[in-house]
Amino acid sequence: MPIDITMPALSPTMTEGSLARWLVEEGQTVAPGDVIAEIETDKATMEVEAVDEGVIGRILIPAGTDGVAVNSVIGVLLTEGEEPPRLAERGPEPPAADPAVLEPPQPAGRAPAPVVDRAVSEPPRGAEKTGERVLASPLARRMAAQAGLDLRSIAGSGPHGRIVKTDIDAVLRVPEVPAPAARHSPDDEVVRLSSMRRVIAERMTEAKTTIPHFYLSVDCDIDRLLEFRAEINRRAAPSKVSINDIVIRACAAALRRVPAANVSWAGDGSMIRHHAVDISVAVAVPGGLVTPVVRNADAKGLVEIADEMKDFAARAREGKLLPEEYQGGSMSVSNLGMYGVKQFDAVINPPQASILAVGAGEARPVVRDGALAVAQVMTCTLSIDHRVLDGAAGGELLTAIRSFLEYPPAILA
């Protein structure tokens, strides 16, 4: 019988992706292991391989389609002697997507293919007992889970009674504020957001609206750090250690010194205390950013961290990071010092509880032993999730980070 080609789950948390392009056509013969399509997630582009030998009988989801739910059928593979199934035989058409989501452009001559939402095909928890099916968009499900709402008690206003964001907002008494209409001239270009950009927008909105941020800042005298780095680089050629590599190691050492800060929000009224110290690092890539994770950073040397970050950065810009390389992390580091930014407040990367924003080092007046002097000073700002950390714990963590930056030999002690 025909074999379904489904949207793969490239990570445990992935719920949907974009079908970037097909590398095969209908009627083309494929063998196991042949690359047949490319899937774009918010962080990388991954290849989909054929799992069996056969002929591509039908392509159900055209290239360029966004928001394709995990496990939904994107194509059909036929074995020898089989005919392509009729569309009607593949089951009823699923409910339409949220009205707020624009339909992707369709190739000429082909009818729009339905996008199957996993939220439609899977019943919610507890529904098995009553046979009840709750139709809800992934965003609505996430909002309901965060607010502790029972979806079965909410009336949906979307197609076929589907629960959408506005329904959750109504229950939470959050007014829907329409976005102002964007004005543009005929010469301006309207650009459809990439999958990465959309996920960044969604996660940053979630972070700023659900996480009670507070901020602590310190100025770090980095004269010794610069001397320390220069000495390491003289000894470590051809590897080169950057200031950011030392910041990563300092954050890891500080979390080891202040284990109470090595936590994350669990989303259900609890928090997770981490034993490993994994540091996420923001890396700019075309169209957005990714946060590869330096695992067990407190146990790694500076040269090892430097080499690992160079590899991460190169593969991140090529879209070749694996999901397990950018998921998780105890806290994040975001460094804009290379752009001359003096100080900024970074947005926490959920479910983490903190992120360190690192500014540029610059010559500033300081007081040493009661006398005025000039030193290289770098401002660091720690953004903290007040649900799991208070000011004292945040201050203790930031003080530890500063102590390691101002006397970096202690990092390796």
3-state helix, strand, coil in the chain (%, to 5): 30, 25, 45
Q: What is the dihedral of CA 304, 222, 391, 344, to 10 degrees?
A: -90
Return the residue matching tokens 């009336």.
Answer: 155
Q: Which amino acid is at 30?
A: V
SS (H, E, C) 290-354: ECCEECCHHHCCHHHHHHHHHHHHHHHHCCCCCHHHCCCCCEEEEECHHHCCCCCCCCCCCCECE
Contact 378, 219 (CB under 8 A): yes
Q: What is the dihedral of CA 311, 207, 65, 71, to 10 degrees?
A: 90
Transcribe 235-266 into DSSP letters.
Answer: HSTT----HHHHHHHHHHHHHHH-GGG-EEE-
CA 246 vs CA 68, 117, 151, 177, 349: distances in Å: 41, 44, 47, 44, 21
CA dist 326 and 265 (Å) reads: 18
Question: Which strands, in side-by-side order, build the sheet including 73-78?
Answer: 3-6, 73-78, 54-59, 29-30
**Residue 39 tokens, joined:** 């899937």
Supply the angle between the helices 223-235 and 391-406 in degrees, to the nearest 10: 50
Q: CB within 8 A of 246, min separation 6: which ones?
A: 225, 228, 229, 302, 405, 408, 411
User: Quick check: helix, strand or coil at residue 213?
Assistant: strand
Exposed, middle or buried: residue 110 (CB in 10 Å: 0-12, 13-18, 19+)? exposed
Contact 363, 341 (CB under 8 A): no
Q: Does residue 160 have an active-site annotation?
A: no
CA dist 396 and 413 (Å) reads: 19
Exposed, middle or buried: residue 137 (CB in 10 Å: 0-12, 13-18, 19+)? buried
Active-site position among 160, 213, 275, 386 = 386
Query: Active-site residue numbers?
Result: 386
